[in-house]
Amino acid sequence: MNIVLVEPEIPHNAGAAGRLALATGATLHLVKPLGFEIDEKAVRRAGLDYWKEVDLRVWESFPALLETHPEARFWFLSTKAKRSAWEVTYHADDFLVFGRESKGLPESWLDERAIRIPMKEGSTRSLNLATAVAIVLYEAERQVGHLE
């Protein structure tokens, strides 16, 4: 499974996504620009002692990621999507794409591959990025059967 954070702004969310990737065997993809540093000094200062074990890929742009994986299936997470994340049948090599904390993904990306996490109507605008990653990643992994 692949977790993609497009232009993440908050280092703690990326750190939590890294821990989720490590716990599930997923690959974490970070798409620049990043709102924080991930060099060795910054990672050490943040206390991310597990970071060097994360299968991490950093991309200059989202098109660069797409070009490298032309046959891959991408799922775009958005509160604006009509389709529920529970309606999808996931494959082991799918890419789960999450937008930046302040703006989400561009609306132009929200086609039939756009999915949302069901929430009680009127309850909240959105979930924390790391929480959203955990919910969808674990549903995908449950379906695929990697963690049994």
pLDDT tens-place string over residues 9-22: 998 899 999 999 99
Rounded to 10 deg, the angle between the 11-24 and 129-144 helix axes is 10
Task: Output the pLDDT for position 133.
Answer: 97
CA distances from 56 to 49, 91, 102 (A): 14, 20, 23
Q: Is 144 or 51 the better-scoring residue by pLDDT?
A: 144
Q: In three state form, how does the secondary structure of 39-56 look?
A: CHHHHHHCCCCCHHHCEE
Lowest-pLDDT range of 48-57, 75-84, 101-110: 48-57
Q: How confident is the model at residue 50 (pLDDT cuts 50, 70, 90)?
A: confident
Residue carrying structure tokens 């389709």: 83
Sorted by sequence, the CB contacts under 8 Å of residue 64 that are 6+ apart come out as none
Task: Output the pLDDT for position 27.
Answer: 97
Task: Output the pLDDT for position 120.
Answer: 87
Q: For the segment 24-39, what is each residue's pLDDT rounded down to a tens digit?
A: 999 999 999 998 888 7
Q: How confident is the model at residue 108 (pLDDT cuts 50, 70, 90)?
A: very high
Q: How confident is the model at residue 47 (pLDDT cuts 50, 70, 90)?
A: low
CA 134/CA 52 separation, integer angstroms: 20
Percentages of the chain per state (helix, strand, coil), in multiples of 5: 35, 20, 45
What is the residue type of 52? K
Task: Output the pLDDT for position 46.
Answer: 66
Q: Which domains does the chain have, with CATH numbers?
A: 2-144 (3.40.1280.10)
